[in-house]
Amino acid sequence: MATGKINVSVENIFPLIKKFLYSDHEIFLRELISNGTDATLKLKHLTSIGEIDVAYGNPKIEVKIDKENKTLHVIDQGVGMTKDEVEKYINEVAFSGAEEFLEKYKDSAKDSGIIGHFGLGFYSAFMVANKVEIFTKSYKDEPAAHWVCEGTTDFSLEESDRTERGTEIILHINEEDSQFLEEGRISELLVKYNKFMPVPIKFGTKEEELPLPEDAEKDAKPETVEVDNIINNPTPAWTKQPADLEDEDYKGFYRELYPMQFEDPLFHIHLNVDYPFNLTGILYFPKMGQDMNMQKDKIQLYQNQVYVTDNVEGIVPEFLTMLRGVIDSPDIPLNVSRSYLQADGAVKKISSYITRKVADKLKALFTNNREDFEKKWNDIKIVIEYGMLSEDKFFEKADKFALYPTVDNTYFTFEELQEKIKDNQTDKDGNLIVLYASNTDAQHSYIEAAKDKGYQVLLMDSPIVSHLIQKLESSKEKISFVRVDGDNIDNLIKKEEEKISKLSEEEKEKLKADFEKVIPAGKYTVQLEAMDSNASPLIITQPEFMRRMKEMQQTGGGGMFGMGNMPEMYNLVVNTNHELISEILNSKTEKKQERLIKQSLDLARLSQNLLKGEELTAFIKRSFDMVK
605 is an annotated ligand-binding site residue? no
- Burial class, 105, CB count within 10 angstroms (exposed 0-12 / middle 13-18 / buried 19+): middle
- Cβ–Cβ < 8 Å for 596, 583: yes
76 is an annotated ligand-binding site residue? yes
DSSP string, 173-198: E-GGGGGGGSHHHHHHHHHHHHTT-S
**Whole-angstrom distance, CA of residue 628 vs CA of residue 625:** 5
Per-position b or e across 457-490, b if 16+ CB within 10 A of its CB: bbbbebbbbbbbbbbbeeeeeebbbbbbbbbbbb
φ, ψ (nearest 5 deg) of residue 65: -110, 135
- Cβ–Cβ < 8 Å for 195, 182: no
**Whole-angstrom distance, CA of residue 365 vs CA of residue 375:** 12
For residue 129, give the amino acid letter. A
- Cβ–Cβ < 8 Å for 279, 328: yes
The DSSP output letter for 424 is T
Nearest CA-CA partner of 42 in 88, 90, 82, 79: 79
583's CB contacts (< 8 A; 6+ apart) are 596
Nearest CA-CA partner of 6 in 109, 132, 116: 132
Q: Where are the beta strands (DSSP E) in 287-413?
A: 299-303, 306-309, 324-328, 404-405, 411-412
The H-or-E segment that residue 395 falls in is: helix 392-398
Describe the crossing of helices 27-48 and 183-194 by its angle, rounded to 10 degrees: 50
The DSSP output letter for 440 is T
161 is an annotated ligand-binding site residue? no
**Whole-angstrom distance, CA of residue 380 vs CA of residue 500:** 47
**Whole-angstrom distance, CA of residue 91 vs CA of residue 119:** 8
**What is the strand order of the sheet 570-575 is part of?**
524-529, 570-575, 538-541
338 is an annotated ligand-binding site residue? yes
**Whole-angstrom distance, CA of residue 426 vs CA of residue 565:** 36
555 is an annotated ligand-binding site residue? no
**Whole-angstrom distance, CA of residue 580 vs CA of residue 506:** 18
The H-or-E segment that residue 63 falls in is: strand 61-66
**Whole-angstrom distance, CA of residue 185 vs CA of residue 128:** 14
Report helix, strand or coil for 457: strand
589 is an annotated ligand-binding site residue? no
Per-position b or e across 107-135, b if 16+ CB within 10 A of its CB: eebeebbbbbbbbebbbbbbbbbbbbbbb
**Whole-angstrom distance, CA of residue 146 vs CA of residue 133:** 7
Binding residues: 31, 35, 76, 81, 96-97, 167, 338
Which residues define the annotated binding site for ATP? 31, 35, 76, 81, 96-97, 167, 338
